[in-house]
Structures are given as C-alpha cells and as structure tokens.
C-alpha cells in the first residue's frame, strides 16, 4: 500500500489495517487475542463470554472453581469438575464465540479438570506450569489427541519449548496445537526466578523469535500451523503489532481484562488494580513452587512476617504444597480476594497493573486495541 504525504486528509478508516485472525489448526479465532485464564474465579463465564463475543478467545480459570459454587457436598475435585462444566455451559448461553479453559498442571485435580473440559466441549485447553507437562501420567493423551478440543501449552523459555516438544513428539507422536509464551512481566505465577524477572535483559521480545524458530521445524514435520502467542505485559494495540512483527500470531492478555466491568472478581479486587502504584506490584513466593506477581498489601506483609501459616488443609489442591510448612494457604487467599476480602488475601497482577485507571467494558477495551493496532501499522507520515 502506498500512502501519500498528505495522510491527514485521508479518512483513516480507509487505511485501517485490521487485526488478522488467528488459526489454531482448523480453528479460527477471529481476533488474535486470548484473554488469559485467571483463577480463582477472576475469569469465569462473564469475562470469557464478553471476550468471545468480540471475537477473541475467552478462557475460564479453573483452579479452585468449585469453591465459588454453592456447597454441593462433593469432594474438592468432584466439585471443581461439576462447577467447571456448569461454567462452560453458562458461557455458552452468553456467546457463540470460543471458550477455553486454563489448567495448572500443579493442581492435584488437573486430570479431572482436563476431562471435564473435554466432556463439556471446550474449544481449547491451556495447560500451565511447565515442568509438569513432561510427565502428565494420568492424562489420557490419546483422548486429547483425537479430540476436537485444541491443546495449548504455556511456557516461559525457548529451552522448555524445545524439551517439551521433543518429549511430546517422541512419547505421544503429536505436539501441542499452539504455544503461549509467557514472559517475565506476566501476572500470577511466572516461570522465572525473582532475579530473572527483574533483569531488564530477560525480555519476551527476545524469547518469541527463538520459540518461533524452534516451532517452525515442528510445523514442517507435522504439516500444521502451530501458532506462537505472546503473553506478559501486552498492554496496547501497538504492543500487539510489535509481537506480531516478531513472529507471534497472537497475544494473551490478563491484567487489562481485570479492569473491566465484565471481569468476574469483586469490585474490591478490581479496585486494588486501579489503586496500585508502580512500586506496589511485587514478586512474591507461592506454594505453587513458582514466584508470583501480585499487588502488595498488609496480608502479604503478614505472610512475609510468618503470621499466616495455615493450621489445617481443607482441599489438598496443589501437588507442590506441603501445608505444614507453607507460609500461607493460596487457595483461601485468592478466594478471599476474589470475593472482596483483601484483608484475608491478595490480587495477582501483571507488571503493568499500575497503568489501569478506570473500569471499561470489554468491548471498549477491544476497540481501543484494534484502533491502537491499526495506528501502529499505518505507514509513517512523510
Ligand atoms: C489475577 C490473575 C490471575 C491469574 N491466574 C492464572 C491462572 O490461574 N493460570 C494461568 O496459567 N495464568 C494465570 N494468570 C496469568 C494470565 O493468564 C496471563 O497469561 C498473564 O497475566 C499475562 O500477562 P499480563 O497480565 O501482563 O497481560 C493470572 C493473571 C492474573 C493477573
């Protein structure tokens, strides 16, 4: 496209460069935008369906989802599976768009959540917490391979992509349908040490091209598109343009969707994001065994001072948690925050959370991203 010097006299809409669709095998996501799965209860049917209605992929955070449903008398894992199926069904009544689930492999009931997602016909399952992806012993990989549901892994480095794809290729004779690469600026659990997360040389911009290169070999071998999706600190339409130019086929965003009316967390949780200053966004230790990024508050100060040691463990939700020695119960803390009791918990948040100033509707946010993308890819004025 050639643009004359007098770009201001041209109707910008004539020049619009729209966000391109994203293909995951035969599945078309009209907008190359995933709303990151956020547990406990931050992304449920409300948020995910709103994103799906705009053409993105809405993702339900599954960890501890049963805790949000009225007590059903079931065991913890059964309650989660029932609640997840109900939440997917609810989302389906709110949108004809695409709905996925996000499952941390560190959960004790990850296999039950995978089966519940497949039973409920989720369009996509995203598996997180990398090191466990090498040995999902109780997952029926054949069921996953033959299902219409796409399987996507979330990783943080080119090295883990290399190791994981080699392992899946040799062990299962298939590879994931797509890869989300989550960089050091992401919210929630991060696949980086505290030091690496603070190191300005460790950047998503450098990791994406390395992953794209590795994946290209598997795209050739399997003769299928395996899109790479960039996550962690993506905030504007210009950011999306930058990652697409680096070889990503889409982006995943979490933090920006917290500051929306449709986000399923309490207003207090959203307010914690809106009120946060840059220095309030900190990296904390988590019983999951990975560092996490969150908004500091008195509860987290108490954790640091050893005042929150749990006295019992109701749910045994994490494979990695030794509750007798863990500094706090993360399920309870995240559930409390979701409900608005931030004196008994805390809000996970990405590095950019301090930039959120007001609540918007998902439709407004997505329009802003589309406009920002379009502006960023317009040829420069002469
Ligand atoms: C409140 C919150 C909860 C999150 N929970 C999860 C989760 O349960 N599982 C997961 O894989 N990622 C989780 N994440 C990460 C997001 O899915 C997303 O990939 C990440 O936040 C992207 O970075 P951004 O927030 O800078 O956009 C969470 C993030 C936030 C902010």
Q: From ligand 1's centre to the CA of 36, what distance in Å?
A: 6
**pLDDT value at residue 73:** 73
**pLDDT value at residue 65:** 97
Work out the mean pLDDT of the chain and round it to a whole number.
Answer: 92
Residue 349 lies in a domain: no
Nearest to 155 by CA among 102, 231, 251: 231
Residue 156 lies in a domain: yes
**pLDDT value at residue 115:** 95
The string of pLDDT tens digits covering residues 292-333 is: 999 999 999 999 998 988 888 989 999 888 888 898 999 999
**Global confidence as pTM:** 0.94
Structural domain total, the chain: 2
Query: Which strands sit side by side in the sheet containing 292-295, from one edge to the other?
Result: 188-189, 292-295, 281-284
Q: Are residues 204 and 306 in the same domain?
A: no
Nearest to 249 by CA among 221, 203, 216, 296: 216
The answer on pLDDT for 190 being more than 70 is yes
Q: d(Cα 364, Cα 359) in Å, to the nearest integer? A: 10
The string of pLDDT tens digits covering residues 51-77 is: 999 999 999 999 999 999 987 678 999
**Best mutation site among 35, 38, 133 for ligand 1, i.e. most ligand atoms within 8 A of its Cβ?**
38
What mean pLDDT do residues 280-288 have?
A: 92
Please report, in angstroms and rounded to a whole number, the separation of the first and last CA atoms in the chain: 14
What mean pLDDT do residues 217-236 have?
A: 97
Residue 345 lies in a domain: no
Residue 344 lies in a domain: no
- Domain with 88 in it: what CATH number? 3.20.20.70
Atom from ligand 1 closest to the CA of residue 37: 17
The answer on pLDDT for 366 being more than 60 is yes
**pLDDT value at residue 281:** 98
pLDDT-wise least confident of 18-27, 122-131, 292-301: 122-131
**Best mutation site among 36, 250, 297 for ligand 1, i.e. most ligand atoms within 8 A of its Cβ?**
36
Number of alpha carbons in the 13 Å side-chain half-sphere of residue 284: 29
**pLDDT value at residue 6:** 42
Q: d(Cα 63, Cα 373) in Å, to the nearest integer? A: 33
Q: Whose CA is nearest to atom 6 of ligand 1?
A: 38
Number of alpha carbons in the 13 Å side-chain half-sphere of residue 230: 26
* Contact status, residue 133 vs residue 164, Cβ threshold 8 Å: yes
Q: Which domain holds residue 297?
A: 268-339
What mean pLDDT do residues 1-18 have?
A: 50
The answer on pLDDT for 8 being more than 50 is no
Q: Whose CA is nearest to atom 5 of ligand 1?
A: 38
Structure tokens at 141: 């990989």
Whether omega for the bond prior to residue 40 falls within 30 degrees of 0, making it cis, is: yes
Nearest to 80 by CA among 380, 317, 382: 317
Q: From ligand 1's centre to the CA of 77, what distance in Å?
A: 22
Q: Are residues 187 and 118 in the same domain?
A: yes
The answer on pLDDT for 199 being more than 60 is yes
Percent of the chain whose pLDDT exceeds 90:
80
* Contact status, residue 323 vs residue 366, Cβ threshold 8 Å: no
Q: Which is more confident, 323 or 83?
A: 83
Q: d(Cα 150, Cα 68) in Å, to the nearest integer? A: 26
Residue 346 lies in a domain: no
Q: Are residues 54 and 137 in the same domain?
A: yes
Q: From ligand 1's centre to the CA of 254, what distance in Å?
A: 5
Q: From ligand 1's centre to the CA of 329, what distance in Å?
A: 19
Q: Are residues 256 and 334 in the same domain?
A: no
Percent of the chain whose pLDDT exceeds 70:
92
Q: Are residues 181 and 250 in the same domain?
A: yes
Residue 15 lies in a domain: yes
List of residues 6+ apart from 266 with CB closer than 8 A? 337, 338, 339, 340
DSSP secondary structure string for all residues of 134-189: G--TTS-HHHHHHSSSEEEEEES-HHHHHHHHHHHHHHHS---SEEEEE-TT-SEE
Atom from ligand 1 closest to the CA of residue 40: 8
Residue 1 lies in a domain: no
**pLDDT value at residue 370:** 97
The answer on pLDDT for 275 being more than 50 is yes
**Best mutation site among 236, 254, 272, 339 for ligand 1, i.e. most ligand atoms within 8 A of its Cβ?**
254
Q: Whose CA is nearest to atom 17 of ligand 1?
A: 36
Q: Are residues 172 and 82 in the same domain?
A: yes
Q: d(Cα 79, Cα 62) in Å, to the nearest integer? A: 11
Atom from ligand 1 closest to the CA of residue 183: 23
What mean pLDDT do residues 184-208 have?
A: 95
Q: Are residues 15 and 160 in the same domain?
A: yes
Q: Are residues 205 and 325 in the same domain?
A: no
Residue 267's pLDDT band (cuts 50, 70, 90): very high
Structure tokens at 167: 């392992």
Residue 351 lies in a domain: no
Residue 46's pLDDT band (cuts 50, 70, 90): very high
Q: d(Cα 66, Cα 58) in Å, to the nearest integer? A: 19
Nearest to 353 by CA among 303, 286, 279, 292: 279
What are the φ/ψ torsions at residue 37 (nearest 5 degrees)? -65, 135
Q: From ligand 1's centre to the CA of 25, what distance in Å?
A: 24
**pLDDT value at residue 16:** 65
**pLDDT value at residue 291:** 93
- Burial of residue 332 (CB within 10 Å: 0-12, 13-18, 19+) is buried
Residue 256's pLDDT band (cuts 50, 70, 90): very high
Atom from ligand 1 closest to the CA of residue 129: 11
Q: Are residues 149 and 221 in the same domain?
A: yes
Residues with CB under 6 A from ligand 1: 36-39, 42, 61, 63, 102, 104, 128, 154, 182, 185-188, 231-234, 252-255, 258, 348-350, 352
Structure tokens at 107: 């959960």
How far from chain centre, in Å, is Cα 276?
Answer: 21
Q: Are residues 298 and 362 in the same domain?
A: no
Q: Are residues 333 and 195 in the same domain?
A: no
**pLDDT value at residue 329:** 94
Q: Are residues 253 and 273 in the same domain?
A: no
**pLDDT value at residue 17:** 84
Q: Which is more confident, 269 or 132?
A: 269
Q: From ligand 1's centre to the CA of 50, what distance in Å?
A: 17
Q: d(Cα 26, Cα 148) in Å, to the nearest integer? A: 10
Q: d(Cα 343, Cα 340) in Å, to the nearest integer? A: 9
Q: Sign (positive/negative) of CA torsion 75, 79, 81, 82?
A: positive
Given the structure tokens 């020049």, which residue do they identify? 15
Residue 118, CA distances (Å) to 40, 88, 100, 141, 250 in order:
20, 11, 10, 12, 24
Q: Which is more confident, 9 or 207?
A: 207
Q: From ligand 1's centre to the CA of 109, what distance in Å?
A: 19
Q: From ligand 1's centre to the CA of 88, what distance in Å?
A: 19
């Amino acid at each position: 496209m050639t643009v004359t010097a007098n770009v201001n006299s041209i109707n910008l809409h004539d020049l619009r460069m729209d966000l391109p669709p994203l293909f995951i095998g035969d599945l078309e996501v009209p907008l190359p935008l995933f709303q990151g799965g956020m547990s406990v209860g931050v992304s449920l049917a409300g948020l995910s369906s709103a994103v799906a209605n705009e053409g993105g992929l809405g993702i339900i955070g599954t960890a501890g989802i049963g805790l949000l449903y009225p007590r059903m008398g079931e065991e913890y894992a059964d309650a989660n599976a029932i609640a997840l199926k109900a939440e997917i069904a609810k989302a389906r009544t709110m949108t004809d768009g695409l709905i996925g689930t996000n499952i941390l492999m560190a959960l004790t009931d990850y296999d039950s959540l995978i089966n519940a997602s497949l039973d409920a016909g989720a369009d996509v399952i995203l598996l997180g917490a990398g090191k466990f992806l090498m040995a999902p012993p109780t997952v029926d990989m054949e069921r996953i391979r033959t299902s219409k549901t796409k399987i996507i892994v979330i990783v943080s480095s080119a090295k883990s992509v290399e190791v994981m794809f080699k392992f899946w290729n040799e062990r299962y004779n298939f590879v994931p349908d797509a890869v989300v690469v989550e960089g050091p600026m992401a919210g929630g659990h991060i696949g980086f040490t505290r030091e690496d997360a603070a190191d300005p040389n460790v950047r998503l911009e450098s990791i994406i091209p390395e992953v794209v290169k590795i994946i290209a070999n598997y795209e050739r071998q399997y003769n299928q598109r395996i899109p790479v999706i960039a996550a962690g600190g993506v905030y504007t339409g210009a950011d999306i343009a930058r990652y697409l130019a680096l070889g990503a086929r889409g982006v995943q965003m979490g933090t920006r969707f917290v500051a929306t009316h449709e986000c399923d967390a309490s207003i207090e949780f959203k307010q914690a994001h809106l009120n946060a200053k840059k220095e309030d966004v900190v990296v904390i230790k988590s019983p999951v065994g990975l560092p996490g990024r969150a908004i500091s508050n008195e509860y987290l100060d108490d954790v640091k001072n050893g005042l929150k040691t749990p006295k019992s463990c109701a749910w045994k939700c994490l494979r990695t948690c030794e509750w007798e020695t863990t500094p706090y119960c993360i399920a309870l803390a995240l559930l409390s925050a979701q409900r608005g009791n931030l004196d008994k918990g805390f809000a996970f948040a990405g590095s950019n959370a301090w930039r959120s100033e007001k609540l918007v509707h998902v439709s407004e946010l997505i329009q802003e991203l589309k406009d920002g993308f379009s502006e960023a890819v317009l040829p420069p004025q002469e």
